[in-house]
């Protein structure tokens, strides 16, 4: 049962925070950030913009590009680790504002791997035959989880949203292919937001220590990201019997240019065939693959029949990959 991507959309906030801006906020410099991460600037949501506001615009753009009406949606999944609030889900807020009255909506939490986890969940729902059309969104206001005094983390992240519309199209060729997902909760302490949930609710002490913001063991995360994304990529290529050289485009989670380069050389993908926009947006967590996919489509980088790989790694740890055979929607 081929599940096709009918259209994509994305949104990044207007406000640009450059490395030069960050030099005025913490003890850092443009050269260090560019050399270690490849990031030059990132987008920051306005104070009155929440994750659902970013998600809504990306969703509207994805519906428009796919020619699907909101009322045709059966499923809305939002991958996010920065929801508007603990509940209701960000997805229900977006469902209401879209007018997707026939859809059920829920959030899904897999940190930076969220977009692929949501795609795989949506695919299985559609393949069950009980649902026809799904909207998958990755949306984050990572700036709300950052300690703006911690130079080791605040330089890395940005805000944004990416979305895709999926449909079960009987008789079509290509579409979503093999997927491989993994998790290892034993390493959760290496990348987390310690407080602000039920374990350590927000108190004056939490706010003073800023433990409701991202805490990360950067070098450890780096190693595990390279290891797991490389392993996943090789596993998928073997399963599909594809050669790395046949990949028209790899769309990886955009965390760090050096991570992308390490994976690219280990898997054996040509430089031009890895999509990179981490320089413009930084790490937008579960939004990054959706944004990159939409940019790739709008830049005309995907043609019918192209072999594509999505690849992600994130807190948890979580990781995953998915192969697609691109079909340009009619
Ligand atoms: N500006 C200037 N110096 C900085 C800095 C900054 N923003 N952040 C850290 N430094 C300093 C450190 O304090 C350290 O100084 P010291 O040697 O005097 O102690 C030095 O730079 C090197 O730090 P280190 O942590 O070893 O650098 P690194 O090469 O590992 O790069 C990261 C740090 C965070 C960029 C890198 O580890 C990384 O990208 N990790 C993965 C993070 C990630 O992608 N997370 C999300 C996954 S989904």
- What is the chain's pLDDT, residue by residue, as a tens digit (330 residues)? 699 999 999 999 999 999 999 999 999 999 999 999 999 999 999 999 999 999 999 999 999 999 999 999 999 999 999 999 999 999 999 999 999 999 999 999 999 999 999 999 999 999 999 999 999 999 999 999 999 999 999 999 999 999 999 999 988 888 999 999 999 999 999 999 999 999 999 999 999 999 999 999 999 999 999 999 999 999 999 999 999 999 999 999 999 999 999 999 999 999 999 999 999 999 999 999 999 999 999 999 999 999 999 999 999 999 999 999 999 866
Measured by CA distance, the residue closest to atom 41 of ligand 1 is 222
Q: How far is the CA of 45 from the centre of ligand 1 (A)?
A: 24
Which one is catalytic: 19, 168, 228, 253? 253
For ligand 1, pick from 30, 36, 188 the residue to mutate: most ligand atoms within 8 Å of CB. Answer: 36
Beta bridge partners of 181: 320
Ligand 1 center to 205 CA (angstroms): 27
Task: Please name which of 131, 115, 97 lies closest in space to residue 284, comparing C-alpha atoms.
Answer: 115
For residues 89 and 78, give the distance between their C-alpha atoms in angstroms, rounded to a whole number: 9
DSSP alpha helix (H) spans, 69-150: 90-98, 114-127
pLDDT of residue 171: 85
Residue 113: what pLDDT? Answer: 98
Show the ligand 1 pocket: residues with CB < 6 angstroms. 28, 32-33, 36-37, 112, 151-152, 155, 216, 218-219, 221-222, 225, 255-256, 283, 313-314
Q: Can you list the pairs that 143-150 forms with residues at least 24 positions away whose Cβ atoms lie under 8 Å? A: 143/44, 143/45, 144/45, 144/82, 145/81, 145/82, 145/193, 145/212, 145/213, 145/214, 146/213, 146/214, 147/210, 147/213, 147/214, 148/25, 148/26, 149/26, 149/210, 150/26, 150/210, 150/213, 150/214
Query: Is 283 annotated as catalytic?
Result: yes
Gap between the Cα atoms of 153 and 140, Å rounded: 16
| The pLDDT value given to residue 295 | 98
The pLDDT value recorded for residue 330 is 65
Residue nearest to atom 38 of ligand 1 (CA): 218
Pocket probe mutation, ligand 1, options 222, 252, 288, 292, max atoms within 8 Å of Cβ? 222
Instruction: Please state the pTM of the whole predicted model.
Output: 0.97
**Residue 216 Cα, ligand 1 centroid: separation in angstroms?**
10
Q: What is the pLDDT of residue 1?
A: 67
User: Angle of helix 51-66 relative to helix 288-298, nearest 10 degrees?
Assistant: 30
Specify which residues 31 forms β-bridges with. none
What separation in Å is there between the alpha carbon of 276 and the centre of ligand 1?
20
Closest CA to 133 of 98, 87, 89, 93: 98
Question: How far is ligand 1, taken at its centre, from the CA of residue 29, in Å?
Answer: 12
Distance 198 CA to ligand 1 centre (A): 30
Q: Whose C-alpha lies nearest to ligand 1, atom 31?
A: 36
Backbone angles phi, psi at 107, to 5 degrees: -95, 160
Residue from 81, 112, 154, 179 carrying the catalytic annotation? 112
């Amino acid at each position: 049962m081929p599940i096709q991507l009918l259209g994509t959309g994305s949104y990044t906030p207007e406000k640009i925070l450059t490395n030069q801006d960050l030099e005025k906020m913490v003890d850092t410099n443009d050269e260090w950030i560019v050399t270690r991460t490849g990031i030059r600037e990132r987008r920051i949501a306005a104070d009155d913009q929440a994750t659902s506001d970013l998600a809504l615009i990306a969703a509207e753009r994805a519906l428009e590009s796919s020619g699907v009406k909101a009322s045709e949606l059966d499923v809305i999944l939002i991958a996010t680790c920065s929801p508007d609030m603990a509940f209701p889900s960000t997805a229900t807020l977006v469902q209401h504002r879209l007018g997707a009255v026939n859809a059920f909506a829920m959030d899904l939490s897999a940190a930076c791997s969220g977009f692929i986890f949501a795609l795989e969940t949506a695919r299985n729902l559609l393949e069950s035959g009980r649902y026809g059309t799904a909207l998958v969104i990755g949306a984050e206001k990572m700036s709300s989880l950052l300690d703006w005094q911690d130079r080791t983390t605040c330089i890395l992240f940005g805000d944004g949203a990416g979305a895709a519309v999926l449909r079960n199209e009987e008789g079509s060729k290509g579409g979503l292919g093999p997927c491989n997902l993994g998790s290892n909760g034993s390493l959760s302490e290496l990348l987390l937001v310690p407080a602000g949930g039920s374990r350590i609710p927000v108190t004056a002490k939490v706010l003073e220590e800023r433990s409701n913001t991202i805490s990360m063991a950067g070098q450890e995360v780096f190693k595990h990201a390279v290891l797991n994304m490389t392993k996943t990529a090789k596993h998928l290529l073997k399963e599909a019997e594809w050669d790395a050289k046949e990949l028209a485009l790899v769309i990886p989670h955009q965390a760090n240019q050096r991570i992308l380069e390490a994976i690219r050389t280990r898997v054996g993908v040509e430089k031009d065939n890895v999509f990179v926009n981490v320089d413009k947006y930084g790490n937008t967590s579960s939004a990054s693959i959706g944004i990159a996919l939409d940019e790739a489509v709008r830049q005309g980088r995907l043609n019918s029949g192209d072999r594509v790989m999505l690849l992600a790694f994130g807190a948890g740890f979580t990781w995953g990959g998915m192969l697609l055979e691109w079909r340009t929607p009619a």
